[in-house]
A and B are shown apart, each in its own frame.
Chain A
Amino acid sequence: MRGQLRILPVVLLVLLVGALVWRLAHPPDTDVQSEMIGNQVPVFAQTDALPGKPGLSSANLADGRPKLVNFFASWCVPCIGEAPVLTELKKEGVPIVGIAVRDRPSDLRQFLVDNGDPFERIGADPQSRLQLAFGSAGVPETFVVDGRGILRMQHIGPIEPDDIPDLLNAVRAAR
């Protein structure tokens, strides 16, 4: 084997290790960003998650008031942690509607009793179809929708107290 060729394995290794070091320093972003941001919310007919609680349709999302759409579920542990923050946002005067993903009315009622009910309306999404239509990949996820029903912002994962100012600003900007 010729001289230069003998160094080739070392060079290839350096390239490989370099790329792997870069990857370790920049872990892949596994959040799925919604492609729907900037678009009208998908059209859906009214669904009711709980008897006695107003249901949700796409028309409710274009009633002139910017609001938060919160995808949640009674079986979702981080949603419990998020509940007080949603109550806080409601106190700040932000309208919040919920979409209960793959949930049962009895579980959902208990969840709202235990963790509070900040929602004006709750829609049901038993097959995750709405969730997919919004471009959401998990619970909890929260969207800012403006008064004309256009998706303005996506928040992936539970809302932490630190996120409140950002969300309030986004809701104000959506007016």
Chain B
Amino acid sequence: MEEISLSDFFHTKPQATDFSIHLATISEDIYHTDFNLEKALIEHFGIKKKDQFISLLRNNKINIYSNSELKTFFDKIQATISNLPLLSLAIAFEPSEETLKALSEWLILNIHKEVLFDITVDTKLIAGATISFNGKYAECSIKPKFDQIFHDVLINRSKSGEKSISPQTDHQSVEHITIGR
């Protein structure tokens, strides 16, 4: 089955779910007498994505006036979406759309796969990411290194502190306490 590139339309799992719902709605309306594809695409995705979707149809040689071809293609897209692998990423900042696009392009370029991102933002990571894909896990954030340095510093500090500060164990003498005049 020929691959359909959907990276122009979504990058994350919630975006893919939303896209899938809208596409299903359009697909249900295909056989209505007053169905207008471009109008439906604009209503559901906006002008920019409508153009991209028309380009996608054209690239896949789909006759936009053939309802049956459209229906078949929409079903194919839904199947592609449901088969996209999930890449769980915990990162230290809120990613912009450009960042997600860059990540998606990097993955297509380097591992030749289109994936759905499941993004979690965790500022404790400081930078980098923890990556989970197909049951494999990689800790690629700065946090472990930072924790190691931090604890090394703490141990050194506590050692030097123990040498310099010895707790006072003597208490106030009570020998001179008297009562009365």
Q: Answer whether A and B are interacting partners.
A: no
Please report A residues at the B interface, Cβ cutoff 8 Å: none
